[in-house]
Structure 1
Amino acid sequence: MRYVLYLVMMCVVALGVGFGLSWVALNEGRLFGATQVGPWVAWTDVGSNSPNPYTRAHIARAAALPLGQSEGLQFTATTDSAGEPLTRACTYRISGRTPVASFWTLAAVDADGINVAALDADAALRSNRLARSGDGAIAVTVGTTLMPLNWLEITGEGPFQLVLTLYDMPAFAGFSSPADMPEITTERCR
């Protein structure tokens, strides 16, 4: 009887650890194929000829149609640079530099990937339509209240994600430090 009890306990522990690690690998991914630079996370193997198994599972789970490796790379941020979750009750400032790319877009989506931009606003900000500072840095405000210059208007309540998609970027663009990616700062919350 003791043998059966130990066997059942070992199976429960093995299944719990196995499913738990699989869930972490597919959702977090930082240890299994995703690259994190500040608050931005990208699955760099997406679009390659032979992505690692965790990247393939992440793509299948998200039901995504990824860009090819030579076409670009998509970064997602669910937190600001201080580590606080992004919520539509707050206004955020995205500032700094973006990696070298011919073109990029910045969109806000909910957890299901549905765009949360206001109905009468652009679905995403595009790099060719931004006002920039003299040194080429960007300054974008994301929120529900009107702001001057570059503003991505969002609507609704609850958490959201920022998706920065870089198109036609050099293979070795380099984005290893947080200075290579824009910073996300919380300005105010209602």
Structure 2
Amino acid sequence: MRFVLRLLLSIALALATGFGLSYSALTDGRLFGATQLGAWTTWPDIGSPLPNPYTRAHIAREAALHLGRSEGLQFIARADSAGEPLDLACSYRLDGRSPVSSFWTLAAIDGDWVNLAAPGSDAALRSSEIARAPDGALRIHVGTALRPGNWLELTGTGPFSLVMTLYDTTALTGFSSADTTMPAITREACR
């Protein structure tokens, strides 16, 4: 009798672990196939002809149209560089460099992938519009409060994510000669 109970307990534990890890891999997506660069996450295999099974399942569950591998990469940040979730009640500063690409965009979205750009403003900041420091570094302010310089004006309340899409990039392809770095996200002030 004791053997049967242990066997049933082992089977239940194995099933719970298997289903739990599968659910986590499908909902979060960062468990397998994701690359983390600071606060930013990307899935380099998402646009490849043969993504791993977990990436394929994450793509199917997300139901979004993704760029092909040769077209570009999409990086998502749900937290700042200190690990705190991004919140529209706060303003943020992005500092640093973007990976080498022909063109990139920066947008803010909510949990349903709805763009949070303020009415009357552009839906995203584009690399061609950014004023850079003499050394090529960028500084972008993100939030609802007016800021001088490069500013991504947002509207709304609650949590949000930043999406930086790099077009025609060699980042994470093995062909890039430079280190791939992403801008740091620093929380400045909250209201």
TM-score by length of 1: 0.91
Of residues 29-38 and 3-12 in structure 1, the stretch that sits farther from structure 2 once superposed is: 3-12
- 1:64-123 CA distance string (max 9 Å, x none): 111010000000001101111111110000011000000000010111211111122111
2:96 and 2:177 map into 1 onto residues whose CA distance is 15
Structure 1 letter corresponding to 2:26: L
Partner of 1:131: 131
Matched, 1:37 2:54: no
Root-mean-square deviation (CA, aligned residues, Å) is: 1.8
Partner of 1:54: 54
Matched, 1:145 2:145: yes
Partner of 1:10: 10
1:156 and 1:120 map into 2 onto residues whose CA distance is 14
1:104 and 1:91 map into 2 onto residues whose CA distance is 22
Q: Secondary structure at the match of 1:146?
A: coil
In structure 2, runs of 5+ residues without a counterpart are none
TM-score by length of 2: 0.91
Q: Secondary structure at the match of 1:70?
A: coil
Size of the aligned set, in residue pairs, is 188
Residue pair 2:67, 2:73 contacting (<8 A) in 1 also = yes
2:82 and 2:142 map into 1 onto residues whose CA distance is 16
Residue pair 1:99, 1:174 contacting (<8 A) in 2 also = no
Structure 1 letter corresponding to 2:131: A
Residue pair 2:24, 2:31 contacting (<8 A) in 1 also = no
Q: CA deviation at 1:6?
A: 4.4
Matched, 1:173 2:169: no
1:4 and 1:176 map into 2 onto residues whose CA distance is 55
